[in-house]
Structure 1
Amino acid sequence: MSRAYLKKATPATDTASASSADVPTIVRTVIDDIRRDGDEAVRRYSSKFDKWEPPSFKLSKEDIDRILATVPDQTIADIKEVQANVRKFAEAQRASLHDFEVETSPGVFLGQRNNPVQSVGAYVPGGRYPLLASAHMTVVTAKVAGVPHVVGCTPPIRGEIPAATVAALHLAGADEIFILGGVQAVAAMAVGTEAMRKVDFLAGPGNAFVAEAKRQLFGEVGIDLFAGPTEVLIVADDQADPFVVATDLLSQAEHGPDSPAVLITTSEEVGRKTMEYCDALLQTLSTADIARVSWGNLGEVVLAKDINDAYRIADEYAFEHVQILTENPREALDKMTNYGALFLGAMTCVSYGDKCIGTNHVLPTRGASRYTGGLWVGKYLRTVTYQEVRNPEESGKLGRLCGRAARAELFEGHARSGDLRAHDHLGDAHDWIKR
C-alpha cells in the first residue's frame, strides 16, 4: 500500500558488507577456541580485542568494595532508586504468574509450576556508552524471578574498569562480576571455563558480535532475544508539539548510526516542523555525530490519512519503542498490537523506559514484536507441568483411551502402557500381559 512520505529512509551504501559477512566466522572461531582452550583462549581474545589482560577477570569482594568507593554518592543513590523501580515492576510481573493444581476428573490431578532458571549470564555492554541500565534490567529481573546464581560480565572501557557499571551489577544482586567483554565473555559464560561456571541462560544487549554469539549458542543455552539496533517510532496527531517529537526522535537516534527513527503523523505541519527542529537540535546535540547519521539515513516521516491509518501503519513497522503523542494516547492500547513497549502521552518518553521508570528495556527489534515481547520475569522461568492419578477407576479409563489413541498413531509401546493400567484397575484382558 502506498504511503505519503515527507522524509524517506535512504540507507547509505553498505561499504562494510564484506566485514559484516565475516562476523559469523569470527564468532564461531572464538567460541570454538574457548570451548577447546578455556581460560587461555579467553585471555588471548581479551588481550586482542580489548587490550585487557588482568591477573584475574573476576572481581573479588575487596575489588568490588574498592571500586564502589570511587563512585559518587549521587550515582549510587540514583542506581538504587532506578533498581527499586525495576524491582517493583518485576515483582508485580512475578505475582501475576501462579502455580496451580486442578483436579480434571475424580482423582486425576494436573499441575503447573514456574521454576526459575538456575544460572544466568548477564552481559552489560561498554563501548560507546556504559549501559548501567542493562545491569538493572537483566540482573534485578533475574533475582526477582528467583535465579540462584547470576554472573555479570562487562568490558573494560578504554582500559579502565567501569566503576559505575560494577556498582550497578553489584547492587542489582550479581553473584559474580567479571571485567570481560565481547564474544569471549558470552562464550565463556555459555560453555564454561576453569574460572567461570557454565550458565543456563544468557541475557543482555550487545554489538553485532555479541548478538551473533548469542545466536550461535542458542540451544546450548537459552537467550533472552535476538536483538538488533534500537528503533523508535512516534505516532503524532495535530495536537503534538513538534519540538517534543524531534527531541524524542533524536534521543533514540543517538544510540547508533543504524538506529531508525520514524514519525507517523496525521498533520503535515507537525511533520515538517519536526524535521526543521531535528536539523536545529543536531547543531547542539553532543552526540550529533551519531544521531545525524541515523536520522539522515534511516529517519522517516510518514503522513497518515487519519489516526486509525497511523496506528495501522505503526503496527506494520512493529518497532521496538512506540511513543504516542496524540490527544487520546490510551486508545493505542486497543488499536495497536505490534510493539516492544508503548509510551503513552507527552509526559512519558522512551528514555524513561531505557533508563529509569521500571519496565524492561531489553526489547524485540526488526519486526520481532510480531511474535515476542521483551525481557521480563517470565523469561527466567520455566513453566513445567506434573500429573498424578490417585483414582484406580480413572487410571483404568485413561489406560483404555491411551491404548486406542496410541494405536491410531501406530505406537504399540505407548498403547501397552495404557493397556496395563486398564488391566490392573478395570480387569481388561490383553494377550500380551503375562506376569
Structure 2
Amino acid sequence: MARKYLKQAARKGKTSIGGAPAQVPSIVAGVIDDIRQRGDAAVRQYSERFDKWSPASFKLSRDQIESAISQVSKQTIEDIKEVQQNVRTFAQLQRESIRDFETETAPGIFLGQRNNPIQTVGAYIPGGRYPLLASAHMTVLTAKVAGVPHVVACTPPINGQIPSSTVAALSLAGADEIYILGGVQAIAAMAVGTESMPKVRFIAGPGNAFVAEAKRQLYGEIGIDLFAGPTEILIVADETADPFAVATDLLSQAEHGPDSPAVLITTSEEVGKKSIQLCSELLRTLNTAPIAGVAWEDFGEVVVVDNVDEAYRVADEYAFEHVQIFTASPRDALEKMQNYGALFLGENTCVSYGDKCIGTNHVLPTRGASRYTGGLWVGKFLRTVTYQEVRNPESSGRLGRLCGRAARAELFEGHARSGDFRAHRHLGDAFDWIPV
C-alpha cells in the first residue's frame, strides 16, 4: 500500500539503547568493575564525580525520610496517595489473575504451580532532568503488591539536594530502604552489593543511557525488568481526529528527551498537515521546547496511508512503546494490532495518563522490544515454579517404564535407570544393572 511521508525523521535509527553513544559500554564496564573491587569507596568516588554528592550516608534515616515528606505540599502528598491507589488497584488485579494450582493428572500423580515473589528487589527512580515520582509507584508499589518482602530504592540528588517529593513517593509506596544515589554507581551497588548496600536479585526502573547499559551488562547476575531506550509515542488517526489533540500528545512525549521519537500515522493528509503546523505553534509556548523541539525535529514523523487497516499494519511495524488510537472505532485496535507496550484508546485517553496517574504501569518496552515482551507488571516480580508428587506406586512404575524408554531414545542411561528402578520396585520389572 502507498505511504506518503509529510515529515520524516532527520535522524531515524540513530539512537541505541538509551540513546547510548559508542563509548558508554566501556565506561559502564569500568565503573561496575571498580565498584565490584572497591565497594563503598568506589561508589562514593563516582557519586562525587557524576552528581557532586557525598553525604555521610547515602541511605536515608527514618528521620531524614520524615523530614523530606514534611517539605512536600499537602496537595502533592494527597495526589501521590491517589495515584498510588490507582496503581495498587490495577496491580492487585494483575496479581489475582496469576494463580497457584495443583491438579491430579493421573491416579496419584499431582502437579502444581506456585508463584513466589523475588526476595530482594532494587528500584531505580531517575531524577536527572525531572523528579519522576511516578516511577516510584510503578516499581516499588508493584513489587510490594507482588509480595516482595524487601525493596531497596535508589534515586539521584537533584541539584545537590534530596528530592523530597520523590522520597515521599518512595516511602508511601513501601520502600524498605531509600538511598540518594544515582547512575551506574547505584545500579552496580545494588547488583553486586557493597559494605553498606545489600545485594538485590532483580532491578526495575527506567534510566538514562548509562543506567540502561549497566542493567544490560549486569543481566544474568541479576534479573532486570527490560532494556529501556528513549520514550516513544505513535498516534494512529483517521479523519475524525482532532489535530490539536494529536499535536499536544505528540509533544507531551517528545519532552522526555531529545531522542524521543514521536510518530503520527493517519489516513487524512489534512489531519497530518494540520498536526505538523500545530506542533510548530505549540512549541513556541512549551517551556520544555528546547528538548521537545529537538526530538520532534530529529525523530518526528508523519505518515499518510490509504486506510485504517493499513495504519494498524504500519504501526505494528514500528512496534512502539505507547500507541494512541484517534479513530472513529478505537477499540478495533485491540483486534487489529499486536506490537505495542500500551494502547490508549480514544481522544479521552492519553499517554500522559499512563505515565502519571491512571494506574497501569509506565515502564514499557521500547526500540521494537514490544515484539517479544510486555512492560513491567506484577508478574515480573514473581518466579513461577512447579512441583510434582507421585503418591500412587503403580503410577510411579508406569512413569518409570516410560522414562526408561524416553531416556534411552536420547542416550541418557542414568536417567533411564532412575525410571527402571521404580518400574522394578512397583511393577516387578527386571533389571540387571544393580552393583554386586
Give the conservation status (yes or no) of the 8 Å contact 2:20–2:209. no
Name 1:133's counterpart in structure 2. Answer: 134
Matched, 1:177 2:178: yes
Q: Structure 1, residues 115-134: CA drift from partner, whole Å, max 9, x if none?
A: 00001000000111111100
State the secondary structure of the residue aligned to 2:364: coil
Q: Do the aligned residues in 1 keep the contact of 2:94 with 2:378 (CA within 8 Å)?
A: yes
Where 1:52 maps in the other structure, the secondary structure is coil
Report how many aligned residue pairs link the two structures: 435
Report what 1:357 is aligned to: 358
Contact 2:398 2:423 in 1 (8 A): yes
| Per-residue deviation, residues 308-343 of structure 1 (Å, max 9, x unmatched) | 001110011000000001111001000001000000
Q: What TM-score, normalized to structure 2?
A: 0.98
Asked if residue 282 in structure 1 is aligned to residue 289 in structure 2, the reply is: no
Return the offset for 1:12: 8.4
Amino acid at match of 1:284: T
Aligned position for 1:38: 39
Match of 1:395 in 2: 396
Q: 1:415 to 1:14 in 2, by over 3 A?
A: closer
Which whole-Å deviations, capped at 9, do the CAs of 1:3-29 have from their partners, x for residues lacking one?
A: 21111111189799x982111111111
The match for 1:7 is 7
Alignment of 1:25-424 (within 5 A): 25-424=26-425
Contact 2:202 2:224 in 1 (8 A): yes
Give the conservation status (yes or no) of the 8 Å contact 2:321–2:341: yes
Distance between the aligned counterparts of 1:283 and 1:259, measured in 2? Answer: 19
CA, structure 1 residues 363+58, in 2 after alignment: closer, same or farther (shift >3 Å)? Answer: same
RMSD over aligned Cα atoms: 1.6
Q: What SS does the aligned partner of 2:430 have?
A: coil
Find the aligned partners of 2:186 and 2:195 in 1 and give their Cα distance.
13
Give unmatched runs, 5+ long, in structure 1: none
Q: Secondary structure at the match of 2:99?
A: coil
Given residue 3 of structure 2, which amino acid in structure 1 is its aligned partner? R
Are 2:21 and 1:20 equivalent residues in the alignment? yes
What SS is found at the alignment partner of 2:21? helix
Contact 1:153/1:177, CA 8 A, preserved across alignment: yes
Deviation above 2 Å: which 4+ runs of structure 1? Answer: 12-16
8 Å Cα contact 1:420/1:433 also seen in 2:
no
Q: Which segments of 5 or more consecutive residues in structure 2 lack a partner in the other structure?
A: none
SS in 2 for 1:20: coil
Question: What amino acid is aligned across from residue 170 of structure 1 in structure 2?
Answer: S
- SS of 1:45's equivalent in the other structure is helix
Q: 1:123 to 1:15 in 2, by over 3 A?
A: closer
Which secondary structure does the structure 2 equivalent of 1:384 belong to?
strand
Which one-letter code corresponds to 1:287 in the other structure? T
Alignment partners' CA distance in 2, 1:292 and 1:32: 38
In 1, Cα distance between equivalents of 2:126 and 2:34: 22
State the AA in 2 paired with 1:345.
G
Whether the 8 Å CA contact 2:2–2:305 is kept in 1: the answer is: no
1:183-203 C-alpha deviation (Å, 9 max, x unpaired): 000000000011111000000
CA offsets per residue over residues 410-432 of structure 1, 9 Å max, x none? 11110000000001000111001
CA shift digits 1:342-396 (9 cap, x unpaired): 0000110000000000000000000000000000000000000000000000000
User: Deviation per CA, 1:147-169, whole angstroms, max 9, x where unpaired?
Assistant: 00000000001101100000000
Q: Structure 1 length as normaliser, TM-score?
A: 0.98
Verify the 8 A CA contact 2:420 2:431 in the aligned structure 1. Answer: yes
C-alpha deviation, 1:434, in angstroms: 4.7
Return the alpha-carbon distance in structure 2 between the equivalents of residues 399 and 392 of structure 1: 10
- Quote the offset at 1:2 in angstroms: 5.6
The whole-number CA distance in structure 1 between the counterparts of 2:277 and 2:15 is 29
Q: Equivalents in 2 of 1:163, 1:2: separation in Å?
A: 52
C-alpha distance in 1 between matches for 2:143 and 2:400: 41
Query: Given the superposition, is the C-alpha separation of residues 15 and 75 from structure 1 closer, same or farther in structure 2, using an over 3 Å criterion?
Result: closer
AA partner of residue 31 (structure 2): V
